[in-house]
């Protein structure tokens, strides 16, 4: 029996769509719910599913054609060669086998009422609000598991803050300026003489944008490949199981909030993204400032400070605490500050900014010692600068999404409270990523998205919060995982230290990158790895081995007994592990 496949209803005000691509061809055997074609409107990109298993008939509409709602696209001969797909539509957290969520950084939500029955008629199984790393990865994994998935995103491109105005563009600029710095400072001693080198900032910015475009288009391709519907517009929860996108309501069995975070403002300081900027404005400067003042000695401020320092800016960092990169191992942070100082950074630690005044030539920034009451006098200093970069942290984007109205519980920092299954206190509503407690890291959000999708499919989602690495992408890079030495001391834990400097590593010498060291922390009795910290070349890549070791409960000896290729930077990891037992070979 032949079943017609028609253009579905796409919204109250939508009467037509474009057939952007045929995903299946005449004669193909398909399973029920397999995506057959893609349709595009100015608001939505949607896949047309097969209503049953069978064999496809001829295509009645060509790609690129505009079609009206209800137009017959093709037909399917039911039951000929196709196989029905297992349905995940009725899966729920209560059907999960065993959740393996180790030491979650999430904060338990108040006990949820008895779960309300999900609506029998829905547009999607899952709607994800936000297409950043947490949201888009969650959507992709859910689609792989057989769910009918939509992802809401108000930007013109997918990828969220990370791909558009965060991780990806900043790394593009870091790489470009690192190359420039090497050419102007390091190449000569290696016998490479470069004359007349100069910076074309406009071309550098254009290259950055091309990197961003490739990544965001890549996510869009993955959505199409996996049959994820992109609902274009601002998403808001209006009721349990209901999301409104630019005035149109959609129903789903499960709604996942992955709205991410935004730069935290500093009271009394007006951001104009021209002379007083956040990380967003700092990525778009059209000229290299002569002087840049960074408020905040954390990861983002130091990375962006490095970009402009390498291009010639005099960078001053003002940090409220008496150290930089709070949360990282203190010994590593101290070494990091010394290296940055050699690169030209100036630091004002233990200071706070009390005023920023715009002048004809730039800005005047007034700072005082931390802990001192405003207006007390002593220790006040005024610094003149061209650009002020405010990097005092990020905050969850949880307001304005309708969450308060439906009764979602928040913590004292405005983050959504969830339990170990990422469920809020409102049945059918979940949250992941920067909008919940824990480190605001793209890879943490991604892992939570995968775990939640698998939990909803009745599988065992897994996130080990004790094995999430953090990285600063300066040069040298800084990376860490697990416990810091300060945390172990505070816990009263008995531990031992293994260290190895890159100055004793053959590959690092050949590269001319001998700053830094590898440091491992292991249990004094059992030798189990408790933490690892690296400052040095490619630290962000090297840390992965130690993340894996901690994930699988390895000891320092386990790492030390693994054969590492010579000559590589990774030998420093092995030597540090040997050092924990007092038997490093090359120092």
502 pLDDT more than 50: yes
90 pLDDT more than 60: no
Question: What is the mean pLDDT of the segment spanning 52-59?
Answer: 91
Least confident range from 60-69, 276-285, 302-311: namely 60-69
The confidence band for 103, taking pLDDT boundaries of 50, 70 and 90, is: very low
- The alpha carbon dihedral of 215, 220, 224, 229 has a sign of positive
Burial annotation 186-224 (CB, 10 A radius, 16+ → b, else e): eeeeeeeeeeeeeeeeeebbeebeebbeebbeebbebbb
527 pLDDT more than 80: yes
- The alpha carbon dihedral of 188, 192, 196, 199 has a sign of negative
363 HSE (CA, 13 A, CB side): 26
**How many CB atoms are closer than 10 A to CB 327?**
13
- Model pLDDT, residue 109: 56
- Model pLDDT, residue 2: 87
Percent of the chain with pLDDT over 90: 80
SS3 42: coil
514 vs 524: CA distance, rounded Å:
29
Q: Vertex 417, ends 415 and 421: CA angle to 5°?
A: 130
381 vs 379: CA distance, rounded Å:
6
Q: Considering the chain, what is the average pLDDT of its residues?
A: 91
Burial of residue 322 (number of CB atoms within 10 Å: 0-12, 13-18, 19+): exposed
Q: Which of 185, 241, 421, 566 is catalytic?
A: 566
275: nearest Cα among 261, 263, 287? 287
Q: Vertex 468, ends 463 and 474: CA angle to 5°?
A: 150
Distances from the Cα of 577 to the Cα of 285, 472, 530, 531, 562, angstroms: 43, 22, 12, 11, 10
- Model pLDDT, residue 95: 36
pLDDT digits (tens, 9 = 90+) for 440-451: 999 999 999 999
418 pLDDT more than 70: yes
- Model pLDDT, residue 377: 52
41 pLDDT more than 80: no
120 pLDDT more than 90: no
Q: How is residue 181 annotated by DSSP?
A: H
Within 61-187, residue ranges assigned H as helices are 133-144, 160-165, 167-181
351 catalytically annotated? no
- Residue 153 · residue 129 · CB < 8 Å: no
- Model pLDDT, residue 75: 92
pLDDT digits (tens, 9 = 90+) for 546-564: 999 999 999 999 999 999 9
156 vs 451: CA distance, rounded Å:
27
| Predicted TM-score of the model (pTM) | 0.82
Residue positions counted in the chain: 587
390 pLDDT more than 70: yes
């Amino acid at each position: 029996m032949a079943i017609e496949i028609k253009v579905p209803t796409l919204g109250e005000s939508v009467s037509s769509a474009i057939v952007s691509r045929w995903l299946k061809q005449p004669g193909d055997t398909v399973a029920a719910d397999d995506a057959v074609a893609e349709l595009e409107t100015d608001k939505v990109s949607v896949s047309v599913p097969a209503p049953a298993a069978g064999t496809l008939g001829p295509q009645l509409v060509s790609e690129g054609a505009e079609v009206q709602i209800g137009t017959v696209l093709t037909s399917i001969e039911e039951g000929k060669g196709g196989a029905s797909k297992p349905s995940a539509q009725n899966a729920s957290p209560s059907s999960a086998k065993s959740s393996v969520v180790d030491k979650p950084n999430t904060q338990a939500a108040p006990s949820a009422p008895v779960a309300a029955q999900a609506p029998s008629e829905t547009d999607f199984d899952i709607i994800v609000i936000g297409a950043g790393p947490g949201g888009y990865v969650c959507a992709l994994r859910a689609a792989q598991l057989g769910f009918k998935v939509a992802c809401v995103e108000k930007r013109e491109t997918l990828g969220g803050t990370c791909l558009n105005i965060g991780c990806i563009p900043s790394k593009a600029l870091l790489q470009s300026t690192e190359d420039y710095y090497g050419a102007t400072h390091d190449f000569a001693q290696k016998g490479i003489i470069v004359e007349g080198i100069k910076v074309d900032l406009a071309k550098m910015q254009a290259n950055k944008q091309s990197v961003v475009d490739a990544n965001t288009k890549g996510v869009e391709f993955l959505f199409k490949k996996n049959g994820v519907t992109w609902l274009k517009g601002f998403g808001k929860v209006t009721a349990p199981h209901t999301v409104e996108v630019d005035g149109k309501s959609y129903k789903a069995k499960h709604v996942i909030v992955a709205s991410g975070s935004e730069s935290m403002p500093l009271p009394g300081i007006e951001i104009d993204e021209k002379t007083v900027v956040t990380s967003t404005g700092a990525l778009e400067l059209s000229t290299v400032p002569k002087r840049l003042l960074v408020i905040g000695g954390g990861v983002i401020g130091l990375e962006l400070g490095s970009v402009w320092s390498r291009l010639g800016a005099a960078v001053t960092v003002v940090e409220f605490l008496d150290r930089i990169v709070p949360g990282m191992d203190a010994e590593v942070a101290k070494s990091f500050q010394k290296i940055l100082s050699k690169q030209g950074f100036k630091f004002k630690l233990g200071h706070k900014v009390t005023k920023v005044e715009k002048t004809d030539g730039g800005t005047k920034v007034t700072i005082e010692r931390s802990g001192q009451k405003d207006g007390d006098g002593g220790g006040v200093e005024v610094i003149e600068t061209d650009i002020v970069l405010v990097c005092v942290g990020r905050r969850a984007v949880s307001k304005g999404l309708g969450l308060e109205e439906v009764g979602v519980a928040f913590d004292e920092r405005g983050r959504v409270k969830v339990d170990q299954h990422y469920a809020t206190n409102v049945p059918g509503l979940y949250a992941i990523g920067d909008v919940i407690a824990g480190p605001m890291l793209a890879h943490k959000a991604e892992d939570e998205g995968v775990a939640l999708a698998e939990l909803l499919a009745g599988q065992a989602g897994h996130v080990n919060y004790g094995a999430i690495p953090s990285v600063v992408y300066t040069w040298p890079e800084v990376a860490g995982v697990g416990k810091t030495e300060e945390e172990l001391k505070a816990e009263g834990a008995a531990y031992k230290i293994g260290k190895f400097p890159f100055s004793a590593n053959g590959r690092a010498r050949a590269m001319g990158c001998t700053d830094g060291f590898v440091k491992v922390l292991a249990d004094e009795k059992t030798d189990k790895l408790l933490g690892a910290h690296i400052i040095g070349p490619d630290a962000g890549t090297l840390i992965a081995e130690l993340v894996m070791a901690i994930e699988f409960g390895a000891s320092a000896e386990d790492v030390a007994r693994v054969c590492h290729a010579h000559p590589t930077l990774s030998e420093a990891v092995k030597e540090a592990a040997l050092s924990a037992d007092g038997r490093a070979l090359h120092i």
